């Protein structure tokens, strides 16, 4: 393999022996490398074969904006999940989890630790993923000199739940994709303009929307609990997001006879906020 572009010290864009582009991860793999430089097999810890050009573009964009320490931490966390709990995940978790951790650490260091979100379904039904989340929180606190609460372990555990490799049938995936498409159109309509699909914000939004739609399809929405106060506090600051969620609720109730729980609404508010903020500025 040969270097095509150095993304950071831990990631490079490379050409494999067949001439296809791929991302190589390895500690120090990009250090003092130039275009055309051959890469030794012992330097490579992980190979990402990204046949989707949009995913490749998003990966490159993320690598250029995020400190490599987060990607290295994510690799360590995923390695523990695989070795200790035999959890196999899709490659996009390297992207979504690194992005999530960098965001949480940034907010903490700015003096805003955020809301104390808790996803009880992770604790009840996904204990291994929650244990991985606890390991991740301890690792992050140690590496980044922060004090994230243990509740963050449920959020990280949820990333693993959503990214685990399964063998669902094609019909299910098509129906989930159809639901994602419908909710994306609702979001676009409420925002009042076309969503910019070229940004990493859009890719992140779509990832979390897909998680949500899979839970709707499987009738496994987060259980409702006393979160009314927290939801109302967030909703007061995010009227456009609430309008989108209300439209989601109406559509899903008609199609699946389900009502979106408050816990799910809180989750949606958080992940809708960035896409609304970014795209409403353009209309």
pLDDT tens across 108-158, in order? 888 876 555 556 556 666 789 989 999 999 999 999 999 998 888 988 988
Give the tokens for residue 205: 């939004």
How far apart are alpha carbons 96 and 74 in whole angstroms?
A: 10
Q: Could you tell me which CATH number the domain at 170-280 has?
A: 1.10.1790.10
pLDDT at position 196, please?
A: 79
Give the tokens for residue 60: 């490159």
Work out the percent of the chain whose per-residue pLDDT is above 70.
90
pLDDT: which is higher, 120 or 245: 245
Q: Could you tell me which CATH number the domain at 68-163 has?
A: 1.10.1790.10
pLDDT by residue (tens digit) across 181-229? 899 999 999 988 778 777 777 877 887 888 889 889 989 888 776 677 8
User: Within the chain, which residue ranges are assigned CATH 2.30.24.10?
Assistant: 2-50
User: Within the chain, which residue ranges are assigned CATH 1.10.1790.10?
Assistant: 68-163, 170-280
Architecture (CATH level 2) of domain 2-50: Roll (2.30)
For residue 185, what are the contacts with CB-CB under 8 A and spacing of at least 6?
none
Instruction: Quote helix, strand, coil % in the chain, to nearest 5.
Output: 60, 10, 30
As a whole number of Å, the end-to-end CA separation of the chain is 45
Least Cα distance to 133 among 110, 91, 162, 90 occurs for 162
How far apart are alpha carbons 283 and 268 in whole angstroms?
A: 22
């Amino acid at each position: 393999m040969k270097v095509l572009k150095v993304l950071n010290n831990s990631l490079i864009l490379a050409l494999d022996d067949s001439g296809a582009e791929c991302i190589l991860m390895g500690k120090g793999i990009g250090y003092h490398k130039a275009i055309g430089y051959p890469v030794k097999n012992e330097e490579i810890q992980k190979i990402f074969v990204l046949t989707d050009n949009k995913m490749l573009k998003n990966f490159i964009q993320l690598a250029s904006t995020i400190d490599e320490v987060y990607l290295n931490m994510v690799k360590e966390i995923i390695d523990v999940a695989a070795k200790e709990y035999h959890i196999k995940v899709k490659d996009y978790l390297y992207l979504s989890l690194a992005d999530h951790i960098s965001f949480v650490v940034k907010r903490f260091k700015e003096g805003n630790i955020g809301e104390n979100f808790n996803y009880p379904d992770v604790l009840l039904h996904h204990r291994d993923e929650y244990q991985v989340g606890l390991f991740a929180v301890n690792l992050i606190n140690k590496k980044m000199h922060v004090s994230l609460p243990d509740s963050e372990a449920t959020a990280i555990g949820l990333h693993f739940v959503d990214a685990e490799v399964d063998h669902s049938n094609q019909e299910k995936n098509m129906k989930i994709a159809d639901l994602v498409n419908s909710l994306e159109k609702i979001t676009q309509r409420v925002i009042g303009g076309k969503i910019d699909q070229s940004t990493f914000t859009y890719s992140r939004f779509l990832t979390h929307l897909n998680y949500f739609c899979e839970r709707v399809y499987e009738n496994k929405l987060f259980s409702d609990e006393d979160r009314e106060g927290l939801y109302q506090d967030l909703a007061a600051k995010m009227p456009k997001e609430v309008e989108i969620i209300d439209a989601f609720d109406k559509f899903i109730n008609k199609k699946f006879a389900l009502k979106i729980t408050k816990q799910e609404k809180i989750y949606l508010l958080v992940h809708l906020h960035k896409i609304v903020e970014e795209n409403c500025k353009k209309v």
